[in-house]
Chains A and B, each alone.
Chain A
Amino acid sequence: MALTANDDVSKGLRPGPNKNELSITANVTRKENAIMIEIRIHGRGGQGNVRAAELLAIAAFKDGKFAQAFPAFGAERMGAPVQAFVRIDDKKIRLREQIGKPDYLIIQDEMLMETVPVLDGLKSDGAILVNSNRTPEELRLNTKARVDTIPATEIAMEIIGRPIPNAIMIGAFCAISGLVSLEAAQAAIMEIFPGRIGENNVAALERANEIIQKRKNHVETD
């Protein structure tokens, strides 16, 4: 399909409200006035939240986009609730405010949802990715946004041997949103973690991608 200047291409990058609208649009060239995409990551100190934001930004950069990643540090300690932010756009990003109305939420610890108002400000056409063994229905989130889950900590223990879910969450996020290519995410991980650690994280990322792809095929054949 040829895109014209009037097409709101950014909508193609936004998650649809239901699971049947999973469209991968990573290769679509975005137009000048496309809307900036904002991602907020919630997790606990030690889960690699800030690193996840940085990796997404590096990956988006490798895809030829402009990206900005920054943390909202609190008292920096293991286990404390942490937020990190990512912006992705086709033009230079100047905005510095924290992300209050995200398009996407990545929640690395589902227990946070009981104590931190993680859903605050999420756009109604937004999407949530939760690290959980439960299904989206079982989570019973009070939101109209699309919800996906992946057992990231479990996969991390299996492949990486440590409960650091960020690579799996990035893999699942790439597959669900199509905002960042899987290849770029892999390259970003290898750039920051050359060697074995990187390779393990890339394997974890690929596993997450497979799980989501399988689920999508499942939805399509339903």
Chain B
Amino acid sequence: MLKQIEGSQAVADAVALCRPHVISAYPITPQTHIVEDLASIVAEGKLDTEFVNVESEFAAASLVLGASAAGARTYTATTSQGLLLMTEVLYCIAGMRLPIVLTCANRAISAPLSIWNDHQDSMSIRDSGWIQIHAEDNQEAADLHFQAYKIAEKTFLPVMVCMDGFILTHAFEPVDIPDQDKVDAFLPPFRPRHTVDPMYPRGLGLFADPRFYMETRYIVHRAMEKSEATIKEVSEEFNKAFGRQSGGLIKPYKLDKADLVIVAMGSVVGTIKDTIDRLEEKGKHVGLLQVCSFRPFPRKLVYQMLKDKTNIVVLEKAISLGRGGILGSDVRWSFPRTEQIDRKISNFIAGLGGRDIRMDDIEAMVERVEKEHVEFDFLGLNRDLILERDL
């Protein structure tokens, strides 16, 4: 049913429809309404699940790790510092191949303290072996959870659904929440590959000496690469079952006519699409390549989509301090070194700590890269606030 609801509520409703057996949550800052709404759903008796309020995000992640290892379908949500506190456990979850689903309401990282949106939190654990998929709007944020469980339970890899904090989590917009039967038909019950059971003791993720450890990393890496096919397949199945496009690896927008292409992910693609339409009215063709799956990074598909484009600009909400753009690096790496073509790939960092990204900013960025190749820059930086002595 189509409802006008908050993004967090939409995700909570979607997660409840996935019938998780165990939900853990550290219920105070930095948390979103997602687990609060889920707590209400459970308290009202609408969902039979074990809802556990824990003492920290470290505990929240540990609890779903244990529950998943025991064969349960599990869920937790966090953001920002909370995700950082989970980090150690998140690596363990991936190493143990536990198909846990986590929502990351993307927000900035301290210090200085910022509660606002950017992608630095999920980027900080991009190498952990978690699949990371980014939602464009609240409909997709909800839909990605149905897909996430299916992907996770097919690949035995944990899935992080990334949605922009505040911009999506706190936005009220129309979201179609499907019926339980439809979700049940799409998402079969979880069948664990191995479970821990006191009756039949066995270990999980215990110890690997130098004879074994490297192979475990190789296996997770290959599984991540192979999960590309599963993400695509599950998205197609979803589109067929629910009649709308959600998820997948990448999504092009008005690419065909464009020579200049913006690459981005998350909710900013909505603003970019509106900017592209506005530019089109002025007779200028700009395209968008939306990256939905950041990990695994669909390198070949990105290359295929962009190989004929001469002017590419990557706009991203995170930075590798001392290196530069992260998504920008991945896009550049997607092109073979030997390729002989006069192509410019520019890279802009924008929207850190909730800095508003306006259509005018995007248009200014387009105008700039039309004139020059911008290897790396910040968009919307106020240089008056920066003292030379601090640099």
For A61, list chain B residues within 8 Å (CB): 4, 174
**B171, A94: Cβ atoms closer than 8 Å:** no
Contact, CB under 8 Å: A73 / B166: yes
Q: Which of A62-82 contact B (CB under 8 A)?
A: 62, 66-71, 73
| Interface membership of chain B positions 1-26, coded 1 if the CB is closer than 8 angstroms to chain A and 0 otherwise | 00010100000000000000000000
Q: Is there contact, CB below 8 Å, between B137 and A71?
A: no
Q: Could you list which residues of chain A lie within 8 angstroms of chain B, going by C-beta atoms?
A: 53-54, 57-58, 61-62, 66-71, 73, 93-98, 100
A70 and B271 in contact, given A95-B359, A100-B358 (Cβ under 8 angstroms) = no
Whether B273 pairs with A68 at a CB distance below 8 angstroms is: no
State how many angstroms separate the Cβ of B13 from the closest Cβ of chain A. Answer: 15
- Please determine whether B170 and A71 come into contact, CB atoms closer than 8 angstroms: yes
CB of B267 within 8 Å of the partner chain: yes
Which residue of the partner chain A has the closest CB to B5? Answer: A58
A94 touches B172 (CB 8 A): no
8 A-B pairs (CB sep. < 8 Å):
A53-B172, A57-B4, A57-B173, A61-B174, A68-B171, A73-B166, A96-B268, A97-B356
Query: Would you call B42 an interface residue if the criterion is a C-beta within 8 Å of the partner chain's C-beta atoms?
Result: no
Nearest B residue to A58, CB-CB? B4
For the complex formed, measure the closest distance between the CB of A98 and the CB atoms of chain B, giving whole angstroms.
5
Residue contact A95 to B271, C-beta cutoff 8 Å: yes
Indicate with 1 or 0, residue by residue over B150-187, a CB within 8 angstroms of chain A CB atoms: 00000000000000001100111110000000000000
Q: Is the CB of B215 closer than 8 A to any CB of chain A?
A: no
Give the distance in Å from the alpha carbon of A9 to the alpha carbon of B111 in the complex: 49
Complex: how many Å from CA A69 to CA B357? 17
Contact status A98-B271, CB under 8 Å: no
The answer to whether B172 touches A97, judged by C-beta atoms less than 8 angstroms apart, is: no
The answer to whether B172 and A67 touch across the interface, beta carbons within 8 angstroms, is yes
Find chain A residues with CB under 8 A from B205 CB: none
Whether the Cβ atoms of B115 and A66 lie closer than 8 Å is: no
Q: How many Å from the CB of A54 to the closest CB on chain B?
A: 5
B377 at the binding interface (Cβ < 8 Å): no
Q: Which 4 A-B pairs have the closest CB atoms?
A: A94-B270, A61-B4, A70-B171, A69-B172
| B173 x A97 contact (CB < 8 A) | no
Q: Is B356 in contact with A68, judged by CB distance below 8 angstroms?
A: no
Distance (whole angstroms) from the CB of B170 to the closest CB of chain A: 6
| A199–B386 alpha-carbon span in the complex (Å) | 52
Q: How far is the CA of A57 from the CA of B267 in the complex (A)?
A: 19
**A67/B4 in contact, CB under 8 A:** yes
B273 lies within 8 A of A94 (CB): yes
Docked Cα-Cα span, A136 to B34, in Å, equals: 42
Q: Are A73 and B115 in contact (CB under 8 A)?
A: yes
Apart from A53-B172, A68-B171, A97-B357: 9 A-B pairs, beta carbons within 8 A:
A67-B172, A67-B173, A71-B170, A73-B115, A73-B166, A95-B270, A95-B274, A97-B271, A97-B358
